[in-house]
Every structure is written in C-alpha cells, then in structure tokens.
Structure 1
Amino acid sequence: MTDHCKDCPPKPALRARPLLSSIQARELADLFKVLANDTRLRLLHAIAIEQEIRVSDLAQAVGMKAQAVSNQLQRLLDVGILASRREGNSIYYRIHDPCVVNLLDQGWCLMEDARQSPARVA
C-alpha cells in the first residue's frame, strides 16, 4: 500500500495493481478528457485556492460569465470531482476528492520540468 497524497485514503501502488482492463482504461481516459480542458483546470485551481466558492465569485476570479462557469462546473460535478452545497440562493463548490489537488500540483510540476529540460531523443 502507498499513500498517493496526505489527504487520500491508502491505495495499492501502481506497480502492484493488475493491468488496466479495457473498461478501466476507457473510464480513466474519460476522466482525463474532462480534466484536459484549460478552462476547467483554471476553475479547479481557483477552487483549490479558495477551498469553497460561489459561482459568481468564481466567474469574477477567472473573468468569465457565471453561466459559462456553471456549465463547466457541471462537467466536474458529473464525474465526482466537485461537490456543492446550497446556502440560501447561493451554491458553493468545493473539490470533493483531495487527490485532485495533488494531481493538479503534480501536473504543474511536470509542466515546469518539461519546460526546463531539453527534448530527449531515444
């Protein structure tokens, strides 16, 4: 077992898991497709910074219309990345799975490392 991030429940190490089935690979690809969107990544980062935020505040933070933000948030809700709660007329969004923040952090690290290292030829 290994801890993938400090807030995630323990899971088997990647090398200890059986090879992904075709169905599991498709599900993982679908999840990465939802994440592979620059707008949704910016929204996730803004939510990670604030921890919980209303659509109107999120829209202002990223310079988008609230309806456009809501549409993107729905995609993230649909795959279980986000959770929401209502307080009066406001809906507050937060990252549901703490592993998502770790994934964003690792992705950012990979991006920065790739910029700094020369292209490798095998």
Structure 2
Amino acid sequence: MDTEIKNTCTPKPQLTERPLLEGEEADGLSDTFKILANATRLRILHALVRNPNMSVTELSEQVGMKTQAVSNQLQRLVDKGIVRSLREGNFIHYQIVDTCVIILLDRGWCLTEDLPN
C-alpha cells in the first residue's frame, strides 16, 4: 500500500506578493477553513498525522467516537480532497493527501497555544 504523503502544494508566490484575494478565491479558502473548523475532523487529522493509514475502526478508537460518526467526518474530508481512502482487501484505510494540511494543522495549533487566554 502506498503510504507516502505527498507535497502537492505547487510552488506559489509569497503571500505578501499575491494580489488581494478576490471573491471566488476567498470563498474557496473560506470553504477549506470551514471543513477544518470542526473539532472532530481536527482530531481525526491529528490521529492520521500520528499514525497514517488507519481504518475507520482504528480512528474511532483513537478519537473515542462511534464508527459511523467518524466515517461521516472522514467522508467530508475525502470529498474536499484532504484525506483519501485506500482499499486493502476488506479494509479501507485513510491517509492525509498533502503535507500542506499537516503544516496548517501544526501552525494553527502553535497559534492557539501562543495566543493569550
């Protein structure tokens, strides 16, 4: 099974060099943040960072939730292209698609820890 997380973020100009976000771009970015703005999905992503290629059952045990609830959240992440599913025999394993997601999770957590209460 291919377990490598790829960096599919193509090289982009520095944020300071980009033109101001326009409507469609801002909407797309907002949609991405909305998908990530869910405690369960963040916990699932963190579990996948710590242990790539987990099944729904394994993820359910990690986050302490019912399998169906985790499956529903995984489907949202798959639909957005953040996570992919890989079938191995009777099992489906999930993995993060791109290292950009890991970096974003790490930076978001860092920011949260550094902000005053």
- Whether TM-score is above 0.5 comes out as yes
Task: Return the offset for 1:81.
Answer: 0.4
Distance across 2 between alignment mates of 1:44 and 1:27 = 20
Q: Give the unaligned 5+ runs of structure 1.
A: 1-6, 117-122
Structure 2 CA distance, aligned partners of 1:93 and 1:115? 35
Q: Give the structure 2 partner of residue 52 of structure 1.
A: 53
How far apart, in 2, do the equivalents of 1:61 and 1:78 lie? 22
Shift of 1:9: 3.9
Corresponding residue pairs, total: 110
Q: Report sequence identity in percent.
A: 57
Is 1:27 equivalent to 2:12 in the alignment?
Answer: no
Structure 2 SS opposite 1:39? helix
Distance 1:94 1:106 in 2: 20
Q: What's the Cα RMSD here?
A: 1.2
Task: Say which one has the larger Rg.
Answer: 1
Runs (4 or more) in structure 1 with deviation over 3 Å come to none
Q: Which has the higher contact order (CA 8 A, sep 6+)?
A: 2
TM-score (norm 1): 0.85
Q: Does 1:94 align with 2:83?
A: no
1:23-76 Cα offsets, whole Å, 9 max, x none, are: 110111011001000000000000110021111000011111111100000000
